[in-house]
Structure 1
Amino acid sequence: MTRMVAVGVILLPQERWSLARSRWQRAEEWGFDHAWTYDHLAWRSLADEPWFATVPLLAAAAAVTSRIGLGTFVASPNYRHPVPFAKDVMGLDDVSGGRLLLGLGGGGEGFDAQVLGPAPTRGERTRRFEEFVALLDELLTQPVTEHDGEFYEAHAARMIPGTIARPRPSFVVAANGPRALALAARYGQGWVTYGPSFDSDGDDIADRAAAQERWWSDLEGLVAQFDAAEAAAGRTGESRARRYLSLDGAPLFSLTSVDVAVEGVERAAALGFTDVVVHWPRLEGVYAGPERALEELAARLPALRALPVAGR
């Protein structure tokens, strides 16, 4: 069966619920397939701006919506322990009626990495992420878990009654490097990426256009690496993971205009991505753009869903 592309939107957790509520509801009313929020304590250039906690925000969003998938983009071990976090996940799954999409990542080197103490080395961070994902998988699929690992312990950790989603909520694993890609291929019902990272050469239109094309070219190589990781894990046919792309990893913000966003969705589908994600436009700074572009994109969702996904 040919898979069609799905489109989601990320809402940064910056507004009080009295204002944010209507946006989450509009995301559903406009027909987006999934809606996400970042899981950080603070984030990059917005570290001194308002920033709310992820779990209560998603619980509130689940209570005022009924269809749309809801997810973390992405939760990491930088400040989360698998045992209490698994309880949070079970609660979000329950409130949402099984609609939770659990985005998981290894954690960056920014603010979150040092808030609770010295940041781990890159090697430690990779090993910690592997243990974090494996232990979360066990916690969410077993009523009682016993674990004694390099980074985590769990003793008679109970997850009763378990989740509505079976065998557990979908893991959408963020990965760009070889070990994380292998982890996504092993545990993920989805793989998510911002695409390749590099510094663009300048700010003029020609430089941005060149950087944009380089990003798409390098992304094709990353897709090939995940193809190989899935093959090595023995995942073929319907067992293959969904593939999520944040269009806003590219040098040009996707909702600069609806045409930029539509072109991005089309190119992503041609590379085999089943799911594409954009950010709700902000008034200024990072992800700044016209909100009308998001509404115009919503109007085009029926046509975009008709796009066949390459290799599916």
Structure 2
Amino acid sequence: MRFGVVILPQHDWPEAAARWRRAEELGFDHAWTYDHLSWRGLAGERWHATVPTLTAAATVTSRIGLGTFVASPNYRHPVPFAKDIATVDQISGGRVLLGLGSGGTGFDAHVLGQPELSPRERFARFAEFVEGLDALLRFEGAAPGGASGISFEGEWYTAAGARMVGEPAQHPRMPLHLAANGPKALALAVRLGDGWVTTGGEHDDDRAWWRSAGALIRRLDDACAAAGRDPSTIVRTLSLDEGPRYSLASLAAFEDAVGRAAELGFTDVVSHWPREHGLYAGDESVLDAVAARLPALR
């Protein structure tokens, strides 16, 4: 089992820097931040941009993986985003984990004046977004006609001779971790993803949430079988805090959640850094207790 922590982009530097450093010192395998312009009930609170945050985090850490949890096409085009995130990967020495999702239907989906999309349209846009990033992040050398850049044209995105320039920091490209619950998205994750991310579904009951997480991982196995992919080749990440219980409420709560996730077959789990109040409210001392237990839980 590998362990990650989400650090919401709410604190100014250098207070935020201390959290990213501490995540590495505590022994977490990866640290993530949300890729939103604002988010749900925290929309009125301080909220920094994703790429600059990860860039700064890369300069104050040396080992820990750095990820987006998750980036979406709601307000991004694959060409400039690929250039941005590839630069972060170079600065970090090849530590970026690119979490990608189809995008929610909240603030980010409408802030640029976008029309409301149907579920079919949202998936079609997501598929093009991922396929574009998959091509771009391999850089020109891996693309047909790469000397003249990377080109593609679809219903949602177009690139005409896009240039990345140089060599990717990770080969053949940085790993893509795709958020997916539905059958089409799961098939996409199996086809193009190095990892799969799930929040387990929306359930108020703890038992129902864990049953849902188990059902989803079985669907992933089925998608792997249908595509002829070895299921052991895809990283399986569960966000532990989308159910009714906060995983860092106590050491006992964390150990219980990790044990359940391991039994279901997840390879990685992610918890949210304790906030002072409201959502994910908790005591940072729990992080120290968890850190002491991570070697035994691996």
TM range (shorter): over 0.9
Deviation at 1:40, TM superposition (A): 0.2
In the alignment, the residues of structure 2 paired with residue 179 and residue 88 of structure 1 have an alpha-carbon distance, to the nearest angstrom, of 28
- Residue 225, structure 1, aligned to residue 207, structure 2: no
| Partner of residue 261 from structure 1, selected from 249, 254, 260 | 254
- 1:142 touches 1:159 (CA, 8 Å); kept in 2? yes
Give the total of aligned pairs: 289
In the alignment, the residues of structure 2 paired with residue 67 and residue 219 of structure 1 have an alpha-carbon distance, to the nearest angstrom, of 30
Q: What are structure 2's unaligned runs of at least 5 residues?
A: 141-148
**What is the aligned-residue identity percentage?**
58
In the alignment, the residues of structure 2 paired with residue 244 and residue 259 of structure 1 have an alpha-carbon distance, to the nearest angstrom, of 20
Q: Which residue of 2 aligns with 1:206?
A: none
Q: Which residue of 1 aligns with 2:286?
A: 293
Deviation at 1:237, TM superposition (A): 6.0
Q: Which residue of 2 aligns with 1:123?
A: 120
Q: Which residue of 2 aligns with 1:23?
A: 19
Q: What are structure 1's unaligned runs of at least 5 residues?
A: 201-210, 306-312
In the alignment, the residues of structure 1 paired with residue 130 and residue 112 of structure 2 have an alpha-carbon distance, to the nearest angstrom, of 20
With normalisation by structure 1, the TM-score equals: 0.91
Q: Which residue of 2 aligns with 1:205?
A: none
Q: Which residue of 1 aligns with 2:163?
A: 158
Deviation at 1:245, TM superposition (A): 0.4
| Partner of residue 140 from structure 1, selected from 137, 159, 164 | 137
Which structure would you say has the larger RCO, counting Cα contacts within 8 Å and 6 or more residues apart? 1
In the alignment, the residues of structure 2 paired with residue 231 and residue 62 of structure 1 have an alpha-carbon distance, to the nearest angstrom, of 37
| Partner of residue 92 from structure 2, selected from 60, 72, 96 | 96
Deviation at 1:159, TM superposition (A): 1.0
What is the identity, as a one-letter code, of the residue corresponding to 2:123? T
In the alignment, the residues of structure 1 paired with residue 293 and residue 61 of structure 2 have an alpha-carbon distance, to the nearest angstrom, of 21
- 2:139 touches 2:168 (CA, 8 Å); kept in 1? no
- 2:26 touches 2:291 (CA, 8 Å); kept in 1? yes
- DSSP-derived class of the 1:250 partner: coil
Q: Which residue of 2 aligns with 1:75?
A: 71
- 2:93 touches 2:169 (CA, 8 Å); kept in 1? yes
With normalisation by structure 2, the TM-score equals: 0.95
Deviation at 1:191, TM superposition (A): 0.2
In the alignment, the residues of structure 2 paired with residue 79 and residue 232 of structure 1 have an alpha-carbon distance, to the nearest angstrom, of 32
Deviation at 1:112, TM superposition (A): 0.3
| Partner of residue 154 from structure 2, selected from 136, 149, 155 | 149
Q: Which residue of 1 aligns with 2:208?
A: 214
- Deviation sequence 1:22-49 (CA, Å, 0-9, x none): 1100000010000000000000000000
- Deviation sequence 1:195-220 (CA, Å, 0-9, x none): 0213x2xxxxxxxxxx1111111211
- 2:67 touches 2:99 (CA, 8 Å); kept in 1? yes
| Partner of residue 34 from structure 2, selected from 31, 38, 48 | 38
What is the identity, as a one-letter code, of the residue corresponding to 1:304? L
Q: Which residue of 1 aligns with 2:146?
A: none
- DSSP-derived class of the 2:76 partner: coil
In the alignment, the residues of structure 1 paired with residue 121 and residue 11 of structure 2 have an alpha-carbon distance, to the nearest angstrom, of 34
In the alignment, the residues of structure 1 paired with residue 217 and residue 166 of structure 2 have an alpha-carbon distance, to the nearest angstrom, of 38
Deviation at 1:119, TM superposition (A): 2.8
- Deviation sequence 1:236-278 (CA, Å, 0-9, x none): 165x201000000111111111110111111111111000000
**Aligned Cα root-mean-square deviation (Å):** 1.0
What is the identity, as a one-letter code, of the residue corresponding to 2:271? V
Q: Which residue of 2 aligns with 1:114?
A: 110
- 1:193 touches 1:245 (CA, 8 Å); kept in 2? yes
Q: Which residue of 2 aligns with 1:171?
A: 176
